[in-house]
Structures are given as C-alpha cells and as structure tokens.
Amino acid sequence: MDSAIHEVTDENIDDVVADSNLVLLVFGLPGCGPCRDLGLVLPQIALRYLGRLSVITVDALRCPKVCQVYNVNIFPTSILLYCSKEVGIIRGFAGCSFYSRKLEELVGDSKNLP
C-alpha cells in the first residue's frame, strides 16, 4: 500500500479520522471490479492531494462496524469528511476522470467550510 494511503480497522477508525481535518474514506470489497479499478488510481489521487487530504481505505469485510456507522452498503463508496463530519459522497467508480472531477468538486467546496 502506498504510504500516502492508510487503512483502518473497526478499532482505530476514530483515531485515524481525528488526526486530519480533511479525510477521504474509500470503502471497498475484495473481488469487486470497480473497487479494484478505484484502488489502482488511489495512489495518484493521494499524491495529488498530499498535505491537503488524508486518503483512508476501508475493507468492508474486515470493518463491518465502520460500514454500519457510515451507512455504506454500495461499493465502492467514498466519503469526504471535514473535521469528522460528512461533507460529500461519491458512490461507485465510473472511471478516473469522473472520479477526479467529483473529488475536485468536493475538495474545492471544502475550502469554504468553517
């Protein structure tokens, strides 16, 4: 795993999320094609936003409590958190350009948050 991307567990999610103001939680499942495709571009996304955004992956099979807390049942799902509060969501993966555009909209909007 790229050093710019972190993985969480049910036990450490609160601590990991609290360490950053702006967090992208990326929920996926092993064997899910779109999840795998998103996983291939996550390193570039993490590097692009390095210093502005923490990218955190969540394996839904190993972290069912995290999925329940964030009400995630579609994979992949990406949730943008600002100060531990949800400010945006991207469901599915329709290619790198679509995902990057949606993420840029969300991260750009987050600049206007208090």
CATH numbers and ranges of domains, the chain: 5-107 (3.40.30.10)
Other CB atoms within a 10 A radius of the CB of residue 30 amount to 10
Residue pLDDT, tens place only, 4-51: 788 899 999 998 888 888 999 999 999 999 999 999 999 998 998 888
Q: In the prediction, which pLDDT does 100 show?
A: 85
Calculate ∠ Cα 108-41-5, nearest 5°.
Answer: 75
Residue pLDDT, tens place only, 68-114: 999 999 999 999 999 899 999 999 998 888 888 888 888 876 555 54
CA dihedral angle for residue 97, residue 43, residue 106, residue 19, rounded to 10 degrees: 180
Q: Would you say 32 and 75 are in contact if contact means Cβ atoms under 8 Å apart?
A: yes
